[in-house]
Amino acid sequence: MDILIVEDEAEIAQLIQLYLEKEGFACQVCRDGLTAIQLFQEQQPDLIILDLMLPGLDGLEVCARIRQKPGAKDPYILMLTAKGEEIDRIIGLSTGADDYMVKPFSPRELVARVRALLRRSLRHGSSSQTYQTQHFSVDVEQRVAQRRLEETEEPLDLTTLEFDLLTTFISYPGRVWNRTQLIERLWGSDFFGDERVVDTHVARLRKKVETDPANPKFIKTVIGVGYKFEDSVS
């Protein structure tokens, strides 16, 4: 697995690289946003560790650009920042980050989170299942999702996490999922973050699959419990 470390503080970048390479990961380091975009396009890493405060393009802009044009791979993004306020976490996740860590952090915890993210890729990568409902179809092997509305069929442009979230919902229509169950399904047991990350990604997915995200027809909130997907099986 290839990892791109985007961090302008040399000592932190070296520390991250040291711990990850000990675990057998191949790492490349850069220290500014523009170089990060260039290396992403050239190397297509499996995961990016992305500092928020960078010279040139900041981490939010880098994350947004990568999600707009993912290329051959749509990498997992773990965002690092010295900022710990809730609003910063929400902004970072809303641009497409998959996880978030606040400096100072434990290198061992960072390695655990990296493994949890990459484990999702391995778990889903070996599947050849296809799921279909009246308005949606998901091919897990090809990682293609489509929506059918009013006799028209259109591909859905989803991030890796959004695709996995939709697959989870569509594979169990009508099932109610709480945040803990979705975190276990998507991030694995090594997840250390805030459970509200689920709400952020559900909101992002709704914007792509619902005609009116404010009044969702398919991905519904079950008050006090979590979420469920409703669509008749075709």
CATH 3.40.50.2300 domain range(s) in the chain: 2-124
Which pair of structure tokens corresponds to residue 230?
A: 């409703």
**pLDDT, tens digit (0-9, with 9 covering 90-100), for 23-33:** 999 999 999 99
**pLDDT, tens digit (0-9, with 9 covering 90-100), for 194-230:** 788 899 999 999 999 999 999 999 999 999 889 999 9
pLDDT in the model for residue 126: 43
Does residue 201 contact residue 169 with C-beta atoms inside 8 Å? no
Q: What share of the chain is helix, strand, coil (3-state, %, to 5)?
A: 40, 25, 35
Does residue 133 contact residue 105 with C-beta atoms inside 8 Å? no
Q: What is the largest CA-CA distance in the chain?
A: 56
**pLDDT, tens digit (0-9, with 9 covering 90-100), for 152-193:** 889 999 888 899 999 999 988 888 999 988 988 887 766 777
CATH topology of domain 2-124: Rossmann fold (3.40.50)
Bridge-partner residues for 154, per DSSP? 147
Which pair of structure tokens corresponds to residue 85?
A: 């306020």
What residue spans of the chain are helical by DSSP H? 10-22, 33-43, 59-68, 86-94, 107-125, 160-171, 179-186, 197-209
Provide the whole-model pTM.
Answer: 0.60
Which pLDDT band holds residue 123 (cuts at 50, 70, 90)? very low
CATH 1.10.10.10 domain range(s) in the chain: 127-229
Pick the CATH number of 127-229 from 1.10.10.10, 3.40.50.720, 1.20.1090.10, 3.30.420.40: 1.10.10.10
